[in-house]
Structure 1
Amino acid sequence: MRIVQFQPVTSKERFREIDQLRGFSLLGILIVNMLFFHSPYIYFDPFNWYTVPQDKVMYQWIDIWVQGSFYPLFAMLFGFGLALQFERMQDKFVSFGLKRMGVLLLFGILHVLLLWAGDILITYAASGFVLLFMLRLSAKWLFGLALLFYMIPNIAITGLLFLVTRLDANALAMYNSVQGIEASILAYGSGNYAEAFSQRLADWMFMNQGGLFLLWMLFTILPLMMLGAAAAKGNLIGFIRVNPVRSILIGVSIATVGTVTKWVPYFTEGNILTAMIQDSFGGPIQAIGYAFLFLALAAKFTSFIAFRPFETAGRMSLSIYILMSILATTFFYSYGLGFYGQVDVVAGTWIALGIYALCVIFAELWLSRAKQGPLEKIWRTLTYPRNK
């Protein structure tokens, strides 16, 4: 009779290139999130908001090369990790995984309540609950179902939006919410913690209004996690390690298709339709291309010093994700240093790089004395039973 040992993956069992890619995706996520950290980004039309040339150029660079590409990458890595855990635990994994997703959900709720409205952990936990019951499927089934779940609703919605534009060219124009902008500047720029808390809840409700949260989870995040799980079950890492040059060519080809798609709002007009094409299709395609490229390079040059910061951050990604919110909100919000609304896109991007560097330094120091990050330790304590 097989005895299953519930223990976290040891450092020797980890895929170093997956940790490196996870750390790299955290940097991309922070660069995009920084727009929301230092300005009322969710309440204005970013295609027409910026007037200073360097801000327009920097935003366009972020929009094309980063925005909409790194959260899909992180979602796929999340599914990859769940599939690996399932392979280790098999029948015992669902009950364990439910507890693990429950703790992650709690982290996400606390993140929203205490720090920042742009949390992704709640969505990951909710999607993870569903994915747990699909991990018995083969790589081919996971891949096929992921494509169906993702493509059918997104193509349908895109087609509907296209028809709307045929009837009224201005119907899908993006507008600025003056009330939202003013409320954000007042609460985060000069308000106290209680006022920031109220605005944070308002921001979260605005971004997840109605059934948007569940629809986005079911038709975007869950299928991306399924793709990651399929990659793990199909031994994508083994393929890339054996075929690094071929994988680089695959990555370049896929990333090119995604990047061209992400130019659509700039080739035509920035509105709800073109933004959806950019984010729902261009972003994930570009993310898959990035994954092939990065993993191929990391597999071939695993010990290259440039990958070390990403690997360090990736090994304690939950702690780093929350730490980035702590540092950014402390820097920008009025109960901290109070720079909200006072920096441009260029400065904000440099600040993002600085915050990421501080997080890497923290991770290096922490991991020099511990095997996992502080929140990972709490997560483990609350989910892994003690083996007798």
Structure 2
Amino acid sequence: MDDAVTLRDAQDFDGADAPAAIAPVSTAERIDTLDFIRGLAVMGILAANIVAFGQPFEAYMYPTAFLTDPGDPGGWMWIAQFILIDGKMRGLFTVLFGAGMYLFMEKAWARGATRKLQAWRLAILMGFGMVHFFFIWPGDILFYYALFGFLVLPCMKWAVKTQLRVGIAGYILGAVLIGGSLTMPFLIAETPFGTSSPQLAKERANMLASVDTMIAHGEVPNAAIAAGDYGTLVAYRFTEQWYEPLANALLFGFETFPLMLIGMALYRMGFFSGGVARGKLLGWGWAGMMAGGLAHLAIGLLVQSYGFSFWSTQAAFVAWSTLPRLAMVLGLAALLVAYAPGATGWLGERIRAAGRAAFTNYLGTSVVMMFIFHGWALGLFGELNRPQLYIVVVSTWVLMLAWSKPWLERYRYGPLEWLWRCLTYRSLFPLKK
């Protein structure tokens, strides 16, 4: 392939409506490895988000924001999650989203559809994201996945090497820009650099004082969750938090857009379907995991030396870990592709089923967390420490694995997967096999 986009390709983006014969891909057309990785990713996302479900959002990075004792002496569980989970599952899911976009269009093009179908599909996903954000949980990723999916659409006809190069270069550029912007606040607030001049000392004092203000910003929604005041919670999101989906898109855009391109390129290279030798996958995978993991460990120990302060944890999560996270995300993807064919036992099959119903599992998990933590249900918000929250994670994993396979043995799709398909094609498809 070359880098040029032909006239027909350009017309494909704005072209005529798709013929009536267009329909979703069948089960036989699915890529087994993608389902397996997607299943692990959707399970891992819960492990990454559990603190933000059960404690104030700020506690996701900043342990002091826990409403109870974190139950993590020395912060070693914080470090372990930082190394193994945080950002890795989101990154893996983003790579899979890019691969899935191209897989969808590959099948759609074969049926005579255009990228207008993908645009409509993304618009529906954006709607799901808005419902998720305002009515269920404000940690939604679907909105900005859809938003950056629109930006990726014009890039789908690029040559595969162009997609890969632009994706990697864009990711590195974003890491440098964000790294610089968040390292400076840390240097001012947490190191002697912040006292090297009267002006910096004044800025340092303002920054340290602002931490309490930022933590206090969550008092209203936290109180509403604990009290079970759902009406106040939703109203607050509409009036005070409405801008956060766009803010999150700006924050994670330098990661999301490049990773989607990388995922698209990897899919086209046959990365997920046997196009890369298993030995190479294992070599690249373990090298990426080890190098990225050691870098994360060094960052975690640095944050520990600063007492898990607000500015050090923020810099670690958003800035310093960005580049080593790319190595771990791609390394993990390579290892999972290599090991997935051998995961043929009962657990592997259930993980694949969870991946086939990943959309339902993602949104369904947020609903389950409402029943566990909101005051109108079990009311455990702010009550559980980190080890106890991990018990919730494992229990919910069991639930995911328990329902997905039996459901898909009787039905063609997960419930939300079926709804998304019906809305995408504006047709009612049979659900039961």
On whether the aligned pair clears a TM of 0.5, the verdict is: yes
Q: Which residue of 2 aligns with 1:251?
A: 285
TM-score of the pair, normalised by structure 1: 0.89
C-alpha deviation, 1:112, in angstroms: 1.3
CA displacement, residues 127-152 of structure 1 (integer Å, 9 cap, x when unaligned): 11111111111210111111222221
Match of 1:193 in 2: 230
Secondary structure of the residue that 1:125 maps to in structure 2? helix
Q: Which amino acid aligns with 1:261?
A: A
Q: Tell me the CA shift for residue 188 of structure 1.
A: 0.8
| Residues 257 and 5 of structure 1, relative CA distance in 2, 3 Å threshold | farther
Going from structure 1 to structure 2, the CA distance change for 1:238 and 1:312 (only over 3 Å counts) comes to closer
Is the 2:288–2:330 contact (alpha carbons within 8 Å) kept by the matching residues of 1?
A: yes
Question: Is the Cα contact below 8 Å between 1:190 and 1:334 reproduced in 2?
Answer: yes
Instruction: Give the whole-Å Cα distance in 2 for the aligned partners of 1:355 and 1:132.
Output: 34
Distance in 2 separating the partners of 1:80 and 1:11: 17
Identity across the alignment (%): 23
**Are the counterparts in 1 of residues 120 and 424 from structure 2 also a CA contact under 8 Å?**
yes
SS of alignment partner, residue 220 of structure 2: helix
Report the equivalent of 1:317: 358
SS at match of 2:387: helix
Residue 412 of structure 2: SS of its match in structure 1?
coil
Match runs of 1:110-259 below 5 Å: 110-162=131-183, 169=191, 171=204, 175-176=211-212, 177-201=214-238, 204-205=241-242, 207-208=244-245, 212-239=247-274, 243-259=277-293
Q: 2:51–2:60: 8 Å Cα contact kept in structure 1?
A: no
> How many Å separate the matches in 1 of 2:266 and 2:223?
46
Q: Report the CA distance shift for 1:180/1:43 in structure 2 as closer, same or farther (over 3 A).
A: farther
Moved more, 97-106 or 173-182: 173-182
Equivalent residue letter for 1:195 = T
The CA RMSD measured in Å over matched residues stands at: 2.7
Tell me whether 317-326 or 165-174 shows the greater mean CA deviation.
Answer: 165-174
Tell me, in whole angstroms, the C-alpha distance in 2 between the residues paired with 1:106 and 1:184: 23
Q: Which amino acid aligns with 2:167?
A: A
1:349, distance to aligned residue in structure 2 (A): 1.0
1:125–1:51 CA distance, 2 compared to 1 (3 A): closer
Residues 146-168 of structure 1 deviation map (CA, whole Å, 9 limit, x = unaligned): 12222213213323444555566
User: 309, 322, 344: which one pairs with 1:280?
Assistant: 322
In 1, the alpha carbon distance for the partners of 2:425 and 2:137 equals 28
The 8 Å contact of residues 55 and 381 in structure 2, kept in 1 or not, is answered as yes
Q: Please tell me whether the aligned partners of residues 161 and 273 of structure 1 are also in contact (alpha carbons under 8 angstroms).
A: yes
| Map of 1:63 onto structure 2 | 82
Structure 1 position 310, deviation (Å) = 1.4
CA contact (8 A) 1:77 1:228 kept: yes
Relative to structure 1, the CA distance from residue 12 to residue 51 in structure 2 (aligned partners, 3 Å threshold; closer, same or farther) is: closer
**Could you list the per-position Cα deviations for residues 341-367 of structure 1 after superposition, in whole angstroms to 9, with x for gaps in the alignment?**
111111111111111211222212321
Is the counterpart of residue 262 in structure 1 residue 296 in structure 2?
Answer: yes
State the shift of 1:229 in Å. 0.3
Amino acid in structure 2 at the alignment position of 1:101: L
- Greater shift after overlay, 230-239 or 219-228? 230-239
- Tell me the amino acid that sits aligned with residue 95 of structure 2: M
Mark the runs of 5 or more structure 1 residues left unpaired by the alignment.
Answer: none
Amino acid at match of 1:263: L
Shift of 1:238: 3.8
| Residue 42 to residue 201, structure 1, CA distance change in 2 (3 Å) | farther
Once the two structures are TM-superposed, the CA of residue 88 in structure 1 deviates from its matched residue by 2.1
Change (3 A) 1:277 1:256: farther
Whether the 8 Å contact between 1:264 and 1:277 is mirrored in structure 2 is no
Residue deviations 1:177-223 (CA, integer Å, cap 9, x gap): 44235334311111411122234457845855xx6334235311111
State the AA in 2 paired with 1:186. A
> Scaled by the length of structure 2, what TM-score is found?
0.80
Maintained 8 Å contact 1:261/1:277: no
Residue type at the aligned position of 2:383: Q
Describe the SS at the equivalent of 1:42. Answer: helix
1:32 is aligned, of 44, 48, 55, to 48
SS of the equivalent of 2:29 reads coil
Distance 1:309 1:371, change over 3 A: same
Matched, 1:13 2:23: no
Distance in 2, matches of 1:304 and 1:204, equals 45
Mind listing any 5+ residue stretches in structure 2 that lack a counterpart?
Answer: 1-17, 195-203, 429-433
Matched, 1:85 2:104: yes
Give me the whole-angstrom Cα distance separating, in 2, the residues matched to 1:286 and 1:295. Answer: 14
- Note the C-alpha offset of 1:19: 0.2
Residue 19 of structure 1 aligns with an amino acid whose one-letter code is D
Aligned to 1:367: 408
Match of 1:76 in 2: 95
Measure, in 1, the Cα distance between the counterparts of 2:185 and 2:372.
42
Amino acid of the structure 1 residue aligned with 2:270: N
| Rounded Cα–Cα distance in structure 1 between residues aligned with 2:272 and 2:179 | 33
Counterparts of 1:5 and 1:104, CA distance in 2: 23
Q: Distance in 2 between matches of 1:305 and 1:278?
A: 39
From the CA coordinates, give the structure whose radius of gyration is larger. 2
Against the structure 1 CA distance between its residues 202 and 338, is the aligned structure 2 distance closer, same or farther, given a 3 Å change threshold? Answer: farther
Q: Distance in 1 between matches of 2:344 and 2:60?
A: 43
- CA distance in 2 between counterparts of 1:386 and 1:187 reads 40
CA contact (8 A) 2:178 2:319 kept: no
Report the residue type matching 1:377 in the other structure: W
Amino acid at match of 1:69: K
**Residue number among 88, 108, 124 corresponding to 1:103 in the alignment:** 124
The Cα of 1:61 is off from its aligned counterpart by 1.6
> How many aligned positions are there?
382
Structure 1 residues 202 and 350, CA, compared in 2 at 3 Å: closer, same or farther?
Answer: farther
